[in-house]
């Protein structure tokens, strides 16, 4: 492992300690591995930028520690790592533009590395892991598992995403089931299709156990 990457990983692991488990170090490590695998399969993007950006992608996000956004932390970690200035700029660009919230605010210029790391982060939000993370995050903020009769809402702005009071089951309809059609790379899209099917199976089973409750009518 590159020594700058090791330095970044150590600082990131420390930053995420005590985070809600869905946004803990092991989420970051899965995103790092998945991003590296997509980069290899696609044969494009600078691997150093991909790995560094995957590691820092959730630094400062309000969901990690349940407090507001923390904007200075990512710059500090990158500057202390010894990465060259131009690489830091590329990583910061990904950090600024990767989130679901940001994607709701309009299109941004794409780079291969942004496409790859964003796909890796989205893949960790779906499938079996995505299900586990959604209930972990929902639990951490006191969300209901499911409220019969409550319809999913249209999440059409960053503010709506951040302030959502929905049940975790509605979060599937509001966000998680939409991700497979938002993948940037063909490798990511293939991986997403399988994970998507697993979420559908989970939801079918969930509603079959709800004694006649059916899935929300959307
Ligand atoms: P993003 O930039 O897409 O928000 P993150 O890695 O920061 O990416 O975290 C996204 C994950 O946080 C979601 O996929 C889900 O697991 C969880 N999450 C976010 N909002 C909610 C919610 N309202 N209910 C349940 N889980 C949520
Ligand atoms: Ni993330």
Q: Which is the closest atom of ligand 1 to the Cα of 99?
A: 2
- Beta carbon of 137 within 6 Å of any ligand 1 atom: yes
Residue with CA nearest ligand 1 atom 17:
134
Model pLDDT, residue 215:
67
146 in Cβ contact with 31 (< 8 Å) = no
Model pLDDT, residue 131:
98
Model pLDDT, residue 68:
75
> From its phi and psi, is residue 188 left (phi > 0), alpha (psi between -120 and 50) or beta?
alpha
Model pLDDT, residue 10:
98
195 in Cβ contact with 127 (< 8 Å) = yes
Model pLDDT, residue 2:
85
91 in Cβ contact with 29 (< 8 Å) = no
Q: How far apart are CA 50 and CA 112, in angstroms?
A: 9
Q: What's the token pair of residue 8?
A: 């970044």
Model pLDDT, residue 66:
80
Q: Which ligand is nearest to the CA of 98?
A: 1
Q: How far apart are CA 49 and CA 35, in angstroms?
A: 11
Q: How far apart are CA 133 and CA 139, in angstroms?
A: 10
Q: Which ligand is nearest to the CA of 100?
A: 1
Model pLDDT, residue 67:
80
Model pLDDT, residue 214:
66
Q: What's the token pair of residue 18?
A: 């005590």
Q: How far apart are CA 166 and CA 178, in angstroms?
A: 16
Residues 6+ apart with CB under 8 A from 183: 119, 122, 189, 192
- Beta carbon of 173 within 6 Å of any ligand 1 atom: no
Model pLDDT, residue 217:
62
Q: Which residues of 111-129 are buried (b: 16+ CB within 10 A; e: fewer)?
A: bbbbbbbbbbbbbbbbbeb
- Beta carbon of 63 within 6 Å of any ligand 1 atom: yes
pLDDT along the chain (218 residues), means of 10: 94 95 97 98 98 97 84 94 97 96 93 98 98 97 95 90 91 97 98 98 96 65
């Amino acid at each position: 492992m590159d020594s700058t990457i090791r330095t970044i990983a150590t600082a990131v692991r420390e930053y995420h300690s005590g985070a809600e488990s869905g946004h803990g170090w092991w989420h970051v490590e899965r995103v790092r591995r998945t991003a590296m695998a997509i980069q290899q399969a696609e044969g494009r993007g600078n691997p150093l930028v991909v790995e560094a950006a995957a590691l820092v992608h959730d630094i400062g996000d309000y969901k990690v520690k349940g407090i507001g956004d923390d904007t200075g932390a990512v710059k500090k970690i990158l500057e202390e790592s010894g990465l060259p200035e131009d690489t830091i700029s590329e990583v910061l660009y990904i950090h600024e533009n990767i989130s679901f919230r940001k994607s709701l605010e309009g299109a941004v210029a794409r780079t291969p590395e942004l496409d790859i790391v964003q796909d890796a982060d989205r893949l960790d939000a779906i499938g079996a892991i995505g299900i586990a993370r959604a209930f972990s995050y929902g639990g951490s903020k006191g969300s209901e598992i499911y409220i019969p009769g409550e319809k999913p809402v249209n999440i059409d702005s960053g503010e709506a995403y951040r302030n959502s009071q929905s049940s975790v089951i509605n979060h599937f309809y509001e966000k998680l089931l939409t991700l497979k059609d938002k993948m940037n790379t063909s490798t990511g899209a293939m991986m997403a299709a399988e994970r998507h099917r697993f979420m559908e199976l989970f939801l079918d089973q969930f509603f079959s156990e709800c004694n006649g409750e059916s899935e929300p009518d959307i």
